[in-house]
Amino acid sequence: MSPRGGAEGALIKCVVWDIDNTLLDGIYLESDQQPPPADKVLLGVLRELAGRGILQAVASRNPPAAGEYVQRLAGLELAAVECGWDAKPAAIRRIAASLDVPTDSMAFVDDDMVERAEVAAVLPGVLVLTPEEAAEAAGWPQFSPPVLTAEARRRGELYANRGRRQAAAHDFGGTRAEFLRQVGTRVSIARATAADVPRLHELSVRTHQLNSAGQPVAEAELAGLLTSAGHQVTTVRLADDFGDDGLVGAAILTGSAGGHSPGPAATVPLVMMSCRALGRGALDALLAWLCRAAAAAGATELTVPCRVTDRNVPFRLALAAAGFRAEPGATGPDGRALFSRPLAGELPPLPDFVVALS
């Protein structure tokens, strides 16, 4: 029997596991003294996939304690836990929303044929697997991301941190800027090095909501840009009291600001940032820093060509907040809208939690 649903060959970003008779060798609530032991094979697959940067979540008709129990057995933090009495498609939708992962890059594993059929019917994009199929999934291309970075390996943990941060933000009450200070936000902006190249490539592949170009950049091309006199590749690292997100974003600056050719116009052919950084001040900081770097190099105007899609609205909001504007209909040679702003006068503010290394 072959797995149903899912886009052909598309990379899976999140696996949602059932608990009873799937991750556990038995039924959680039907055990008298102690909960049933783990299904060693499937728990091993879960750990392996988590190590590849694929988010692991559970959806189960059980009390929340069942999720905590599975988490202890797995020895790692699950990205999302949905324990309740809802239908599985609703639980999967909530996981998709909380992790910001589209359902067509999710897989669902359940021993129950009826649950599988319901998910397949309601969410046709989800790759629906039996436990037997899931046991072999680690060998499939959909579960084998091409690059594996330190950030990817820790992705599940980082998303769990995000859940705690969101809860704290919701209870905080003050402005977002006050919250960012309160939780010890640290944004570090630095020149990219060769060691950053795999992660930069990964960001170019994975980011959509905060991406100006909308197309991947090969590692070789990135490596070439690092040594190009005409380009300045800049990285953004993000951390706060909830955890260290590592390298979350980058930008390429070129023109008068990037290299030796002086001139009034500087361009940023690529800005990209992980959606984990959304709402955490990192993109605003990067745009503010780019304005300063370009101005310091003698540019009087900075242009950020942006492919306008229905997914990168957050990026356009950040551009608007930083004072960038585009002429409707006027596009660059690749069809991107040309967002630009003058560099004279007041530049967008660079918060004091930003550390910029030259």
Partner 1 sequence: MTDATDQLAGELGDLLAEITGRAELRGIEPATPLLRGGAGLDSLAGTLLLRQVQRRYGVDVAAEDLNLDALETLGTLAAFIAARI
Q: Which residues bind partner 1 (CB under 8 A)?
A: 169-177, 209-210, 278-279, 281, 283-284, 308, 310, 313-318, 320-321, 325-326, 328, 337
* Cβ–Cβ < 8 Å for 203, 213: no
Least gap, CB of 282 to partner 1 (angstroms): 11
Beta-carbon contacts of 117 under 8 Å, excluding residues fewer than 6 positions away, are none
Tell me whether residue 68 or residue 327 sits nearer to partner 1 (CB atom).
327
Tell me whether residue 93 or residue 316 sits nearer to partner 1 (CB atom).
316
Least gap, CB of 311 to partner 1 (angstroms): 10
Q: Which residues pair with 255 in a beta bridge?
A: 266
Spell out the long-range contacts of 23-28 with Cβ–Cβ below 8 A and sequence spacing 24 or more: 23/58, 23/70, 23/73, 23/74, 24/70, 28/60, 28/62, 28/66, 28/69
Q: Two tokens at 9?
A: 């060959």
Tell me whether residue 56 or residue 312 sits nearer to partner 1 (CB atom).
312
Tell me whether residue 8 or residue 171 sits nearer to partner 1 (CB atom).
171
Q: Can you give the three-state secondary structure of 277-331, one letter per residue?
A: HCCCCHHHHHHHHHHHHHHHCCCCEEEEEECCCCCCHHHHHHHHHCCCEEEEEEE
Least gap, CB of 250 to partner 1 (angstroms): 17
Residue 164: count other Cβ atoms within 10 Å of its Cβ: 12
Least gap, CB of 174 to partner 1 (angstroms): 8
Least gap, CB of 51 to partner 1 (angstroms): 29
Q: How far, in Å, CA of 12 to CA of 22, rounded?
A: 19
Sheet holding 325-331, edge to edge: 325-331, 337-342, 301-306, 265-273, 243-255, 231-240, 186-191, 354-356
Q: What is the DSSP string of 105-145?
A: GEEEE-S-HHHHHHHHHH-TTSEEE-HHHHHHGGGSGGG--
Least gap, CB of 200 to partner 1 (angstroms): 22
Q: Two tokens at 174?
A: 């003050």
Tell me whether residue 59 or residue 238 sits nearer to partner 1 (CB atom).
238
Tell me whether residue 139 or residue 329 sits nearer to partner 1 (CB atom).
329
Q: Two tokens at 98?
A: 């909380």
Least gap, CB of 177 to partner 1 (angstroms): 6
Least gap, CB of 346 to partner 1 (angstroms): 11
**3-state SS assignment for residue 84:** coil
Tell me whether residue 258 or residue 323 sits nearer to partner 1 (CB atom).
323
Tell me whether residue 42 or residue 277 sits nearer to partner 1 (CB atom).
277
**3-state SS assignment for residue 353:** coil
